Structure 1
Amino acid sequence: MKVGIIGAGAIAAKMAETLAGMKDAEGYAIASRSLDSARAFADRWGFPRAYGSYEEMLEDPDVDLVYVATPHSHHRDHALMCLHHGKPVLCEKAFTANAVQAEEVLGYARERGVFITEAIWTRYMPLSHRLNELLAEGVIGRPTMLTANLGYPLSHKERMYNPALAGGALLDLGVYALNFALMAFGTDIERVDSACVKTKTGVDAQESFTLTYRDGRMAVLSSTMMAKTDRQGIISGEEGHLIVENINNPQRITVVDSEYRVKSVYDCPKQITGYEYEVQACAEALQRGWLEAPDMPHSETLRVMRLMDDLRAHWGVRFPFE
């Protein structure tokens, strides 16, 4: 499978590193607004093709899948452009800037009959699947409380503080905490409560939000672009708790019993970067003729976008193009 990338920034480089280590996918083409930038990227990562416009790359018949690696604010336009050219899409999270855009993109994908999925890498990882298996096995009894956080000091980066780029901690970091909760506890949410601290530019700098489920379970989540947090996810039940190290790229699950003794430990399989699993999911979907990936169905992408829209509305965080 030959992969083309739109955008030549840091996250595109991570995907290029991933593809370089894979056997069933290869980095084939890079498209940037600057041909010089594209050529430099191609030279660095050994891509055969470099394009100075996105449209030009999308006209290349040898591109099998396009990875959209531009800021959130541009995902809608770039995904639609790919779909218009009949190119399957792996679109970086957050899928779009808001749910209206997501609905438009997914609707057009259905209309065109073209595959698209969100590159929320944690959804595809083996250790994420193992976590759900452990919960189903009842290793901690009935789980009732979940906490998760993710934070890095990123407020100096323009894409984080600029409203025109759909900046803020939620779409970049909080989306992982939210997905972690939805993967573990499901979607039967009764109420959402939250608080937010804003930057001078009006986007969210850090936040906490609590999901209360109809059966009484609670997920207490937080994200920040002002500090480096422990990134842990902890799920507690009647007979112990599970500790997930790094909800952004789960590295270890520790099962602790009711006497606070370590019962078992599950380590992350050796990985290239962790991005390989979402690429593999795309390859399988294309081989099988699927229009979405089972690990991150379109309904879940829309659910996450709507929840984040509701949170931003509560905080009064609005992007200039909305």
Structure 2
Amino acid sequence: MATKWGIASCGMISHDFVNAITSLPSTDHKVVAVAARSLASAQAFKDKFGLDETKAYEGYQALADDSEVEVVYIGSINTTHLELAKMMLGAGKHVLCEKPLCMNVKQTMELLEFAKEKKRFLMEAIWSRTLPSYQKIRQLIADGSIGEVKNVVVTFGFVLETVDRVMKKDMGGGTILDLGVYTVQIAQLVMGAEKPAKIAAVGHLNEHGVDVGISASMTYSQGRTATIVTSAKAMLENEVIINGTKGMIRIVSPFWTATQVELIKQATRTDKTIEKFNFELPQGAKLQYIFPNSNNLAHEAQHVRECILAGKLESPLLPLDETLTIAQIMEEIRKQAGVVYNED
């Protein structure tokens, strides 16, 4: 039986998520309802995908009230995540909510407790964790391919000065919440979900009081460190280097939705070998994608289906405890940089 999806918000990321669902078997996934702030937007959204049997709603309560909807994907702006996720969980729906799950640690704890109380599946939509390339990274680290991990370096930056959701505080903007969540999550994956012992961060804020550039260093046990850099002012390398005692792993750009991973072994300063692992993108979507490699969202949707069918209330690839740790790290980084949200 197909997993029956409801879609809350009909913006660009929701477009790519639904487009990815169209590449999956209709016997496994079905979008049964979409909701937006206006009925016209919801109707136009479903029409462009040719979803004739899908219901369109004005407002999100109607989506929560739809008894046919099994799981809701929330693709709205950051500041609305807590309210909409609680609305859907309270109505008995499972929830996949776009990152960042909430605006701060306080909200994150509130939502995690609410999901546990309602006994419904909840996952922060850090799709990276569900990708075949990331399963390969886990394997390479676990089998000692690069020896003991000692350092991770991650950069993520684009020129985003005209993107309101990144640049404005009332929309939950800032590079740490928008881009930094990806840099933090890969550091945490590599470090085995261990909470860093120390964080040191600096950055620049714009006139709205949100960060447009951050550099942060994190210290872990066993002499391990991680360095992350985010920017809304410049194009960065957008890759990950995982350094070990016997070699390194390079996650090629775009690292958050990677299709190529390199294992680099260096015997001497001039003698090195590079083994490349390539991963094909899911094909068969109805429309063009808006964001790079959004085909990979199909892996996330399928993972959620498998978790729900197995009766899980959280993802084994991104447990709720780790979502909370990621929120705690992001909050510490942006507060050190001077970013304070109304929700704080």
TM-score range, shorter chain: over 0.9
Selected match of 2:58 from 47, 52, 68: 52
Q: What does residue 20 of structure 1 align with?
A: 22
Secondary structure at the counterpart of residue 230 of structure 1: coil
Unmatched segments (≥5 aa) in structure 1: none
Q: What does residue 11 of structure 2 align with?
A: 9
- Paired with 1:75 and 1:314, the residues of 2 have a C-alpha distance of 24
Matches within 5 A, 1:200-239: 200-239=207-246
Note the alpha carbon deviations across 1:194-213, whole angstroms, 9 max, x for none.
11111111100010111111
- Paired with 1:102 and 1:281, the residues of 2 have a C-alpha distance of 22
Work out whether residues 241 and 249 of structure 2, in 8 Å CA contact, stay in contact via their aligned partners in 1.
Answer: yes
Normalization by structure 1: what TM-score? 0.97
Matches within 5 A, 1:123-272: 123-186=129-192, 187-245=194-252, 246-259=254-267, 260-272=271-283
Q: Which amino acid aligns with 1:295?
A: L
Q: Which amino acid aligns with 1:21?
A: S
Note the alpha carbon deviations across 1:269-314, whole angstroms, 9 max, x for none.
3324111122112111211211111111110111011111111221
Q: Which amino acid aligns with 1:236?
A: N
Work out whether residues 72 and 95 of structure 2, in 8 Å CA contact, stay in contact via their aligned partners in 1.
Answer: yes
Selected match of 1:107 from 100, 107, 113: 113
Structure 1 residue runs of 4 or more that deviate by more than 6 Å after TM superposition: none
- Paired with 2:307 and 2:98, the residues of 1 have a C-alpha distance of 17
Selected match of 2:46 from 34, 42, 45: 42
Note the alpha carbon deviations across 1:239-275, whole angstroms, 9 max, x for none.
2211111221112111111145233111123324111
Normalization by structure 2: what TM-score? 0.91
| Superposed displacement of residue 188, structure 1 | 4.5
Q: Which amino acid aligns with 1:285?
A: C
Work out whether residues 109 and 324 of structure 2, in 8 Å CA contact, stay in contact via their aligned partners in 1.
Answer: yes
Work out whether residues 195 and 325 of structure 2, in 8 Å CA contact, stay in contact via their aligned partners in 1.
Answer: no
Secondary structure at the counterpart of residue 111 of structure 1: helix
Unmatched segments (≥5 aa) in structure 2: 284-294
- Paired with 1:113 and 1:244, the residues of 2 have a C-alpha distance of 36
| Superposed displacement of residue 165, structure 1 | 1.4
- Paired with 1:303 and 1:67, the residues of 2 have a C-alpha distance of 22
- Paired with 1:262 and 1:276, the residues of 2 have a C-alpha distance of 33
Note the alpha carbon deviations across 1:102-132, whole angstroms, 9 max, x for none.
1111111111111111100011111111101
Secondary structure at the counterpart of residue 300 of structure 1: helix
Asked if residue 292 in structure 1 is aligned to residue 314 in structure 2, the reply is yes
- Paired with 1:228 and 1:18, the residues of 2 have a C-alpha distance of 27
Work out whether residues 152 and 224 of structure 1, in 8 Å CA contact, stay in contact via their aligned partners in 2.
Answer: yes
Work out whether residues 259 and 281 of structure 2, in 8 Å CA contact, stay in contact via their aligned partners in 1.
Answer: no
